C-alpha cells in the first residue's frame, strides 16, 4: 500500500505583502496545519534570532545567510512538515524554498540553479505542491512595513525588494503548474477569497480539511 501523503502549500511574498495573514486564514479555512520559516522548531527559533537580529547585518555573509536558512528548513521539514505529510495532512507554510530562491537568489544575487540544489537537499526532496505568491507593489509593502519595527532583512532598500518581487514573478511564470500569483493589493477578505479559489483549483482541496483527488 502507498503511504499516505498530504499536500504542502507555501505562501510567499515580499515583507509587507500580507502573506502571513493569508497563510493563517487559509490554514484555518482548510483545517490545515499552519507552520512557517524561519523559526518553527527549537533550532529554528535560535536561527531566526541570528538571521533577523537588526544588529547582525555587517557580520552575516550572504552564503552564511543562505546556509542558516537551509539549516532551518532541514530541521523544519524533518520535524514538522514531513511527519505531517506522512500522516496525510494538508500543511500550509508561511515561506518555504521559494523564499531562498527569491531573496538569496534574485535579491542577493546568488546563482538560482545552485540554490535550487541546496534547498532541495536541505528539504530532503520535499517540495511544495503549490506555491502562492501574494504580490504587492514595493511601495505598498513599504507603507505597510513602516507601521512595524523593521528587522535586519526588512531594512534592505527598495531596489532589493523590487528584485525579490520580480524574482517571485519570474519563478511563478516558469512553473505555472506549481506556482500561482494572487494580487495582494486589496482588502484582506478579497485576497483570502482569491487565495482559496486558486488553491482549490490547483489542488482539488475541499473546505474543512478534506483532500480530494487532484484533477489532472
37/135 with CB nearer ligand TMP: 37
Residue 89: CB minimum distance to ligand TMP, A: 21
For residues 71 and 91, give the distance between their C-alpha atoms in angstroms, rounded to a whole number: 20
Tell me the C-alpha to C-alpha distance, in Å, between residue 65 and each of 19, 46, 53, 70, 76: 22, 13, 12, 9, 17
Furthest-apart CA atoms within the chain: distance in Å:
52
15/211 with CB nearer ligand TMP: 15
- Which grid coordinates are listed for 145? 512595513
104/180 with CB nearer ligand TMP: 104
Residue 52: CB minimum distance to ligand TMP, A: 6
Can you tell me whether residue 12 is helix, strand or coil?
strand
Name the site residues for ligand TMP (rule: CB under 6 A): 15, 20, 37-38, 52, 69, 95, 99-100, 103-104, 153-154
Give the nearest residue (CB) to ligand TMP: 103
For residues 124 and 78, give the distance between their C-alpha atoms in angstroms, rounded to a whole number: 8
CB contact at 8 A, 188 and 139:
no
48/196 with CB nearer ligand TMP: 48
Residue 48: CB minimum distance to ligand TMP, A: 7
Residue 146: CB minimum distance to ligand TMP, A: 15
Residue 20: CB minimum distance to ligand TMP, A: 6
**Measured torsion, CA atoms of residues 202, 208, 213, 216, in degrees rounded to the nearest 10:** -10
36/211 with CB nearer ligand TMP: 36
For residues 182 and 133, give the distance between their C-alpha atoms in angstroms, rounded to a whole number: 6
Handedness of CA 191, 70, 146, 107 (dihedral sign): negative
Residue 204: CB minimum distance to ligand TMP, A: 27
57/207 with CB nearer ligand TMP: 57
For residues 19 and 38, give the distance between their C-alpha atoms in angstroms, rounded to a whole number: 14
Amino acid at each position: 500500500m502507498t503511504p499516505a501523503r498530504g499536500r504542502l502549500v507555501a505562501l510567499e511574498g515580499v515583507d509587507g505583502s500580507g502573506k502571513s495573514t493569508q497563510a493563517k486564514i487559509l490554514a484555518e479555512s482548510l483545517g490545515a496545519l499552519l507552520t512557517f520559516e524561519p523559526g518553527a522548531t527549537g533550532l529554528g527559533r535560535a536561527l531566526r534570532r541570528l538571521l533577523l537580529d537588526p544588529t547582525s547585518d555587517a557580520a552575516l555573509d550572504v552564503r552564511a545567510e543562505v546556509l542558516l536558512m537551509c539549516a532551518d528548513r532541514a530541521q523544519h521539514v524533518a520535524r514538522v512538515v514531513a511527519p505531517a505529510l506522512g500522516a496525510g495532512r494538508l500543511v500550509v507554510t508561511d515561506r518555504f524554498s521559494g523564499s531562498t530562491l527569491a531573496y538569496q537568489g534574485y535579491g542577493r544575487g546568488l546563482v538560482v540553479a545552485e540554490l535550487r540544489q541546496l534547498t532541495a537537499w536541505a528539504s530532503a526532496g520535499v517540495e511544495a505542491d503549490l506555491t502562492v505568491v501574494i504580490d504587492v507593489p514595493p511601495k505598498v509593502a513599504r507603507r505597510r512595513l513602516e507601521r512595524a519595527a523593521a528587522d535586519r532583512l526588512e531594512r534592505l532598500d527598495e531596489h532589493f525588494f523590487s528584485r525579490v518581487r520580480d524574482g517571485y514573478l519570474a519563478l511563478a511564470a516558469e512553473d505555472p503548474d506549481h506556482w500561482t500569483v494572487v494580487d495582494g493589493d486589496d482588502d484582506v477578505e478579497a485576497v483570502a477569497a482569491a487565495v482559496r479559489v486558486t488553491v482549490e483549483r490547483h489542488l482539488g482541496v475541499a473546505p474543512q480539511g478534506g483532500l480530494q483527488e487532484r484533477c489532472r
